[in-house]
Every structure is written in C-alpha cells, then in structure tokens.
Structure 1
Amino acid sequence: MDGTSYGYTTDVRYRDLDPRGHVNHVVYVSYMEQAKGAFLREVVGVALDEVNTVVRSLDVEYERSIESGQQVTVDLRVENVGETSFTIAYRLSADGRLVATAETVSVLLDERGKPRAIPDRWRRRIEEYDRGDRGEPM
C-alpha cells in the first residue's frame, strides 16, 4: 500500500473467535468495516450510519490466522474515488504481522437506492488527508 494510510486498531474479542480459537474469517471483514467507519467519521466528516453506501465488491487475501488476545491493526487507503463509488485498499496485521490484504468498492446511494455522485466535500477531505493535511473534518 503506497502513500498515506489511515490506521485503526482494535482488540480481538471473545465473540470474534471460532471453535478452534481463531478469529473467524468473516470477522476480518468486520474489522475492515469498523476501520472504514472510523475513517469516514474522522477524515471525511460523515458517520457511516448516516450515509447510504453498499459494498459492490470485496476481495480478501488471507495470509495467516488471528489468535485470541492479539491486537489487530487495519491500515486503509482510498485508492480511487469515481463518480458514484470509491475503492479502499486494506492491510490487516495482528501484533505487527500481516494477516490479510483486501479491497472493497463501495457505492454511494440516494434515498431511492440509486447511485449518486460522491460529494465534492468528500473528495476534498480525502485528497487533503492523502497530502498530509490533517485539519479538522467539516
């Protein structure tokens, strides 16, 4: 992942574990969603539950398991902002070791569920963050 990334860290919870004591594979995606929500709130200035987005595509490459008691860090970077969608690349690590890489494409929808344009304010905040300008979200 090149360029500026956003970091989000969380602890592994008991409910994240499968019967073998590993974090279930779908929980990796939950960690990514938590990181995306934090990024949108802290950088873009919008709460994930206040905007209507859907994931159009998801690609995950699992490298190793996450164990009970570990801390998970999700580094993400907005790779592309299109007309109605944005692409995010993710790098997940547990206690400093790579556990997965992933990419999502999310589409912004209007109140009728139809794709709508990504607001210019979002684009500006993402560009400012990528350049290293860490001003307060609008």
Structure 2
Amino acid sequence: MAKPDPALLDPARYPFAHEVTTRFADLDPNDHINNVAMAAVFEDGRVRFNVGAGMVRTETFRPMVASVAIEYLDQAHFPQSMTCHVAACDVGRSSWQMQQLLVQEGRPVATCRTVVVSTDGHKAVPIPDAFRALLQPWLLK
C-alpha cells in the first residue's frame, strides 16, 4: 500500500467534521473496528456532509456514487469515538470527488476518496451551476 499524501492527513484542511460513536458490535476477532463498519462511517459522513452543505436532490439532479477507495492506515478501537472529516475536491464538468479522513484520538486511521457523478437518474449530466456554487465553501483547503 502506498503511503497517503501527508497533506490529506491534516484535519484542518477539511471544512466539515462529524463525531462518530463506535459500537461494540463493529469489532472484529482482532478487537478493532472492522472494515465494513469503517466503510459505513465514511458513508454516514458523506451523507451528513451533503445535508450540512444543503445538497438537495431534484428530478433532474441525482448525485450517484461511482467509486469509493478506502485506505486503512491504523487500527480503530472501541469505545473511543472517531471524527470523520469531509471535503469536496476535484470538481469537474459532471462529477466531483469527496475526500475524507477518519481520526481517532488524534491518529489518522483511514482515508476515503469517493467519486460522485451528477446524473438525471439515468445518465451523467453537467453539475448544475447552483450546486457548483454550493460546493465552493466546502472544498478541501
């Protein structure tokens, strides 16, 4: 596994953060938070980011996840909480990316890069200007 870009491990670069409570049920046989639970934390962070940013799905604008890449950096443990940091980045014509950082007790435990495509529900369409403007304050610093 390649080492992550150190700049992506700085929580100050992310304009959105959400505290996550870990659950005993998410432990694996090695007593750390399992990979499926970590993926769910990233998903929850993306959705909370969308709500916080005011993203509203319409009949002609339906964002869809096209790709998710998670890099596990360290073990996460129960019962310590984690913080999911989220930012938008790499905004293109019909897609954008979301970069996330999961931190527990000051340690980066995972990163996630998600590609989101602007669709009309069936095919890719250009990102609406209003949504493009909405993303600006939420870009990775």
TM-score by length of structure 1 reads 0.79
**Cα distance in 2 between the residues matched to 1:108 and 1:45:** 12
- Aligned-residue offset at 1:14: 2.6
**Cα distance in 2 between the residues matched to 1:106 and 1:94:** 26
Aligned residue for 1:122? Answer: 131
Secondary structure at the aligned position of 1:37 is classed as: helix
- Aligned-residue offset at 1:4: 4.6
Aligned residue for 2:106? Answer: 96
**Could you list the per-position Cα deviations for residues 59-78 of structure 1 after superposition, in whole angstroms to 9, with x for gaps in the alignment?**
22211111110111111111
Aligned residue for 2:3? Answer: none
Deviates more, 1:13-22 or 1:89-98: 13-22
- Aligned-residue offset at 1:87: 0.5
**Cα distance in 1 between the residues matched to 2:43 and 2:140:** 23
**Cα distance in 2 between the residues matched to 1:45 and 1:72:** 24
- Aligned-residue offset at 1:34: 0.9
| Contact 1:44–1:126 under 8 Å retained in 2 | no
- Aligned-residue offset at 1:5: 2.4
CA RMSD of aligned residues (A): 2.4
| Contact 2:88–2:140 under 8 Å retained in 1 | no
- Aligned-residue offset at 1:131: 10
Change (3 A) 1:90 1:129: closer
Give ranges in structure 2 of 5+ residues lacking alignment. 1-7
Which structure 1 residue ranges, 4+ long, deviate > 6 Å from structure 2?
A: none
| Contact 2:99–2:112 under 8 Å retained in 1 | yes
Aligned residue for 1:41? Answer: 51
Aligned residue for 1:136? Answer: none
Aligned residues: 128
Change (3 A) 1:44 1:21: same
Aligned residue for 1:83? Answer: 93
- Aligned-pair identity (%): 28
- Aligned-residue offset at 1:127: 1.0
- Aligned-residue offset at 1:96: 1.8
Matched AA of 1:40: N
**Cα distance in 2 between the residues matched to 1:84 and 1:102:** 20
| Contact 2:14–2:85 under 8 Å retained in 1 | no
| Contact 2:94–2:126 under 8 Å retained in 1 | yes
Give ranges in structure 1 of 5+ residues lacking alignment. 133-138
Matched AA of 1:64: D
1:8 maps to 2:21: no
- Aligned-residue offset at 1:102: 1.9
